[in-house]
């Protein structure tokens, strides 16, 4: 092309550009520019925040997966260095123009005309206000290719509209919050935290230089970003930092695959449950300090059980009066192989934790008292599934025992006998009244194993059921949001029966038979507590309450693996005690006052199976003496008789317990100097012995030392006998 033709083409282009510009300036913007207030109110972060009762953030949950935007920041919360460098790099005459820098636009236009002939990319002239117009109206932004002339004119008119109603500070503030910096990261709040781990108010000059360089190429490689930052550094004539430092910082900050914002989430499971809208800031009933302490206690204790195959745990704390959930720890975090599982809401086998509700029901119906004698001796019950033969945790039987001792020491056979008194169907309905919503089947489905926790329950529901005992038999829902659960309660248990059950669960002497006097269930304040362990050692519980709080702890393995030698006292109880002591560090936690309708008096036992003591009775059920009859399985007197197994018993080998650790407990009534024989072979002496089972049908005899046979039964052992 000749020089004359180039000059003619330039003239035509200039004429067209001048006419187009004149038209653009005369015509108003054909869209609608929102006000600053509208932009602020319409802004939605990609995250949602969970707050504790004092306004502290306890969890952050990402809702919008398309972008990463954090909360809107005021201009005063952004580093002065970043503000200065933004203007220096993007719009030097920002405070002198009204949205369009005509000088820069003219230079850019001339440069564009010259580059028509050399193929180079022309220099841009978009002001901060013009760029903001593109953020507010995507149709004004450049597409994958360069922005069209029409888009440019519309952007100019939009920028002039913005400047009419927005202040310069508002424009800067919106720009910082709406600009894309890197990948999915939008806004300086997310960019500063994702790239440098600092709040935008703390950005130094080096970090600010790199962020401003990213505005020109959000997807550029670290070296390119550093070069742009270095060029800006030179233009700004700043002496610190050096370009080499920028190169190093750029590699560290940008040479990664993906960016994760630091999140201080100490209640992630509750956040998953409650947060569902981007930008939410939801206040809850949690107490952040208590939540942190519960997490620490749970993790430290699980680490102390190293080698016993227990990795997971959960804890919940509820305020008795209000029902506020004060702590919600869903897992052990990094200790767990399944940290995302919510142990507070997960279904786990209840173990012995249902016994207080069973005994409370029987006491309220005046079927038993706390002093009633229950027979802890072998029993077999006929069920549709066959014989049910319960065993105690230690596979031993204690004989005649009071209901107080049976509940506090968590004996199984007396609980099954008590369930037979009240009825399985009625107990099933009562558990549902306590809010155990997982108990959905009828009594026949669960059978007598329900007394020993043969049903899956949720920690939050179980803890709230214990809270009903703490509140003297009145149940109402617990909740996570302030005032959201302030509903009128319903009475499940009489206040007198609830008082007796709580008194039993607080009795250190009554639980000593199984747990000893020194154990983690003892706390500084008055507390009532119950432990539980599932039959296969997969679940371990400790649930209890003071006059002010109810605390529930579960430990186990989310994948269902059994623990090694972990009981309620060694597993969940130490965490429960830590929480109770923390909650009552300032004192308090006095024992509940005795309600009307309770008679307290001394009771004696004849024979003296237990020592005389002061006992609480529902009015009308009190007695000064408990006298045992000769029969009834307490081995008080009478002729020699095999109590267990009974004739025709079928004994099943437990597949979860190695055969070398399994024993069948033979029990008799009568003289102690007797000999036990299996198929004619002597296997032990005394009123009770433990026998390692062997498969097949067997004849068991009880004989005197001189060989005279006193009693005999036949029984069968079934199941796998592999070690």
Most confident of 107-121, 125-139, 458-472, 563-577: 458-472
Q: The domain at 3-30+69-254 falls in which architecture? A: Orthogonal Bundle (1.10)
Model confidence at 386: pLDDT above 70:
no
Class of domain 315-618: alpha beta
- Average pLDDT on 695-705 reads 88
- Average pLDDT on 358-380 reads 89
Angle among Cα 647, 648, 654 to the nearest 5 degrees reads 115
Longest dimension (CA), the chain: 138
Kindly tell me the number of DSSP H helices and DSSP E strands found in the chain: 22, 29
Q: Give the residue, 420 or 651, on which the prediction is more confident.
A: 420
Categorize the per-residue pLDDT at 642 as very low, low, confident or very high, splitting at 50, 70 and 90. Answer: confident
Note the pLDDT of residue 506: 96
The answer to whether residues 412 and 516 touch, using CB atoms and an 8 Å cutoff, is no
Model confidence at 6: pLDDT above 60:
no
Non-local (6+) Cβ contacts of 87 within 8 A are: 94, 95, 128
Note the pLDDT of residue 443: 86
Q: Give the residue, 148 or 422, on which the prediction is more confident.
A: 422
Class of domain 641-718: mainly beta
The answer to whether residues 229 and 220 touch, using CB atoms and an 8 Å cutoff, is no
Asked if the domains 3-30+69-254 and 315-618 are classified in one and the same CATH topology, the answer is no
Model confidence at 301: pLDDT above 70:
yes
466-480, 550-564, 645-659, 682-696 — which is least confidently predicted? 645-659
DSSP string, 384-443: TTEEE----TTS---EEEEHHHHHHTT-HHHHHHHHHHH-HHHHHHHHHHTT-TT--S-H
Q: Give the residue, 260 or 376, on which the prediction is more confident.
A: 376
Place of tokens 């029984």: 715
135-144, 355-364, 366-375, 710-719 — which is least confidently predicted? 135-144
The answer to whether residues 69 and 45 touch, using CB atoms and an 8 Å cutoff, is yes
Model confidence at 239: pLDDT above 60:
no
Note the pLDDT of residue 466: 98
Q: Give the residue, 318 or 91, on which the prediction is more confident.
A: 318
- Give which of 352, 477, 335 is closest to 418, Cα–Cα: 352
- Average pLDDT on 622-648 reads 65
* Residues of the chain above pLDDT 70, percent: 83
So where are the chain's domains? 3-30+69-254, 315-618, 641-718
* Residues of the chain above pLDDT 90, percent: 53
Q: How far apart are CA 86 and CA 236, in angstroms?
A: 11
Q: List, for residues 557-574, the tens digit of each pLDDT value.
A: 999 898 988 876 888 999
Note the pLDDT of residue 261: 72
Q: What is the mean pLDDT of the chain?
A: 85
Note the pLDDT of residue 115: 45
Model confidence at 34: pLDDT above 50:
yes
Model confidence at 30: pLDDT above 70:
no
Note the pLDDT of residue 635: 34
Model confidence at 523: pLDDT above 50:
yes
Q: List, for residues 189-206, the tens digit of each pLDDT value.
A: 999 999 999 999 999 999
Report field, pTM of the whole predicted structure over 0.85: no
Please say whether the dihedral angle defined by the alpha carbons of residues 569, 292, 290 and 286, taken in this order, is positive or negative: negative
- Average pLDDT on 528-541 reads 89
Q: How far apart are CA 245 and CA 222, in angstroms?
A: 13
Judged by DSSP in three states, 498 sits in: helix
């Amino acid at each position: 092309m000749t020089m004359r033709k180039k000059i003619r083409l330039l003239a035509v282009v200039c004429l067209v550009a001048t006419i187009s510009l004149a038209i653009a300036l005369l015509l108003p913007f054909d869209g609608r520019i929102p006000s600053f207030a509208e932009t602020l109110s319409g802004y939605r972060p990609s995250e949602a925040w969970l707050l504790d009762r004092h306004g502290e953030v306890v969890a952050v949950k990402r809702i919008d997966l398309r972008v990463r935007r954090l909360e809107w920041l005021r201009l005063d919360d952004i580093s002065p260095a970043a503000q200065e460098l933004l203007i220096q790099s993007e719009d030097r005459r920002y405070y002198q123009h009204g949205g369009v820098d005509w000088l820069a636009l003219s230079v850019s236009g001339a440069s564009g005309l010259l580059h028509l002939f050399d193929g180079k990319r022309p220099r841009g002239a978009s002001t901060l206000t013009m760029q903001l117009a593109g953020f507010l109206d995507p149709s004004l932004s450049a597409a994958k290719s360069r922005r069209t002339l029409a888009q440019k004119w519309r952007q100019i008119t939009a920028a002039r509209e913005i400047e009419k109603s927005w202040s310069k500070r508002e424009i800067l503030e919106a720009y910082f919050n709406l600009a894309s910096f890197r990948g999915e990261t939008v806004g300086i709040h997310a960019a500063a935290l994702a790239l440098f781990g600092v709040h935008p108010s703390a950005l130094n000059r080096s970090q600010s230089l790199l962020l401003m360089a990213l505005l020109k190429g959000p997807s550029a490689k670290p070296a390119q970003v550093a070069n742009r930052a270095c060029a800006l550094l030179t233009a700004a004539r700043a002496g610190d930092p050096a370009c080499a430092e920028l190169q190093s910082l750029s590699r560290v900050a940008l040479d990664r695959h993906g960016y994760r914002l630091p999140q201080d989430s100490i209640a992630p499971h509750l956040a998953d449950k409650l947060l569902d809208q981007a930008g939410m800031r939801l206040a809850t009933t949690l107490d952040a300090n208590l939540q942190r302490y519960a997490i620490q206690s749970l993790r430290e204790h699980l680490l102390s059980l190293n080698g016993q195959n227990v990795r997971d745990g959960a804890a919940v704390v509820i305020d008795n009066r209000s029902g506020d959930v004060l702590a919600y720890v869903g897992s052990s975090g990094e200790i767990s192989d399944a940290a995302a599982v919510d142990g507070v809401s997960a279904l786990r086998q209840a173990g012995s934790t249902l016994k207080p509700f069973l005994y409370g029901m029987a006491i309220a119906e005046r079927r038993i008292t706390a002093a009633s004698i229950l027979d802890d001796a072998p029993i077999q019950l006929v069920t549709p599934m066959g014989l049910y033969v319960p065993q105690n945790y230690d596979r031993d039987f204690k004989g005649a025992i009071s209901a107080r001792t049976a509940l506090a020491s968590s004996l199984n056979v007396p609980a099954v006998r008590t369930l037979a008194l009240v009825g399985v169907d009625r107990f099933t309905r009562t558990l549902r009244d306590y809010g155990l919503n997982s108990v959905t089947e009828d009594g026949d489905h669960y059978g007598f194993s329900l007394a020993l926790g043969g049903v899956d329950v949720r920690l939050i529901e179980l803890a709230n059921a214990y809270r009903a005992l703490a509140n003297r038999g009145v149940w109402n829902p617990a909740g996570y949001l302030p005032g959201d659960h302030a509903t009128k309660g319903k009475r499940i248990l009489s206040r007198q029966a609830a008082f007796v059950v709580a008194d039993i669960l607080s009795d250190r002497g009554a639980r000593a038979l199984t747990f000893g006097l020194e154990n983690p269930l003892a706390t500084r304040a008055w507390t009532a507590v119950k432990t539980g362990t599932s039959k296969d050692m997969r679940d371990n519980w400790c649930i209890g309450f003071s006059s002010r709080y109810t605390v529930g702890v579960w430990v186990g393995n989310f994948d269902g693996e059994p623990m090694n030698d972990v009981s309620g006292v060694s597993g969940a109880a130490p965490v429960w005690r830590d929480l109770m002591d923390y909650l009552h560090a300032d004192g308090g936690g006095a024992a509940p006052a005795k309600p009307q309708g309770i008679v307290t008096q001394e009771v004696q036992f004849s024979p003296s199976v237990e020592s005389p003591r002061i006992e609480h009775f529902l009015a009308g059920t009190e007695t000064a003496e408990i006298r045992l009859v000769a029969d009834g399985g307490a081995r008080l007197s009478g002729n020699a008789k095999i109590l267990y197994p009974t004739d025709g018993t079928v004994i099943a080998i437990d597949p979860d317990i190695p055969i070398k650790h399994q024993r069948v407990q033979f029990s008799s009534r009568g003289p102690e100097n007797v000999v036990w024989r299996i198929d004619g072979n002597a296997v032990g002496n005394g009123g009770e012995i433990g026998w390692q089972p062997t498969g097949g049908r067997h004849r068991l005899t009880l004989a005197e030392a001189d060989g005279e046979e006193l009693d005999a039964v036949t029984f069968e052992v079934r199941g796998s006998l592999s070690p």
